[in-house]
Chains A and B, each alone.
Chain A
């Protein structure tokens, strides 16, 4: 079965960077995008960006453009999201999701990674 397993909780200071991983299994990794979505406490979902493991093409939301980098490692079928220059607005649960390029929907999700930003 399709599974996306994310790395654990992170606690970071303002100005630091965080890198979250997303290990995929149960499907052909290169056939689907990996998207990242975050949810601040008590708030809605916010799309951050997505990457194609097939050709490396990536696109980012304007709000985090310049601070975020998405990568994939096809040898380990793992996606990564790195966010730099963290501030309090970045505190959220970060989800990875499998993206179907044909329908622009997210059909399988990771369990979420809590990122806390605190001095």
Chain B
């Protein structure tokens, strides 16, 4: 598999919620609780937002949450703010390597 599948785009108004899906297989997303999510603003390096499916690094607002069901992981951003407008990528461990998602552009 070359990449995990994400929707190309998602949008919401300020204060609303948006959920992004990340679909893989039993060899990656479904096989391990090692799914992470990254936020990337234009011209910047990615930033870790969620690791191990649903854990937040220090400093990441609790508006960001993660979950997983079967071969699909999800990132939810609640209470959308204008600074949340960015590209979001999921990533999963595959047993021997890592694989990224195709990316989702979130518009606020």
Contacts and interface: CB of A to CB of B under 8 A. Distances in A.
A104 interface: yes
Contacts, number: 63
Interface in B46-75: 46-48, 51-52, 55, 57
Label chain A's interface by main secondary structure.
Answer: strand
B98 A35 contact: yes
Contacts of B86: none
Given A45-B38, A45-B103, A103-B34, A95 B45 contact: yes
A109 B91 CA distance: 15
Contact of A105 (B51, B99, B101, B103): B51
A47 B99 CA distance: 6
Given A44-B3, A112-B45, A105 B100 contact: no
A105 B89 contact: no
A46 B52 CA distance: 19
Contact of B97 (A44, A61, A111, A112): A61
Interface of B: 3, 32, 34, 36, 38, 40, 45-48, 51-52, 55, 57, 89, 91-93, 96-103
- 10 cross-chain pairs, A with B, having the tightest CB-CB distances, nearest first: A105-B51, A104-B93, A105-B36, A109-B45, A104-B34, A44-B103, A45-B100, A47-B98, A103-B51, A107-B48
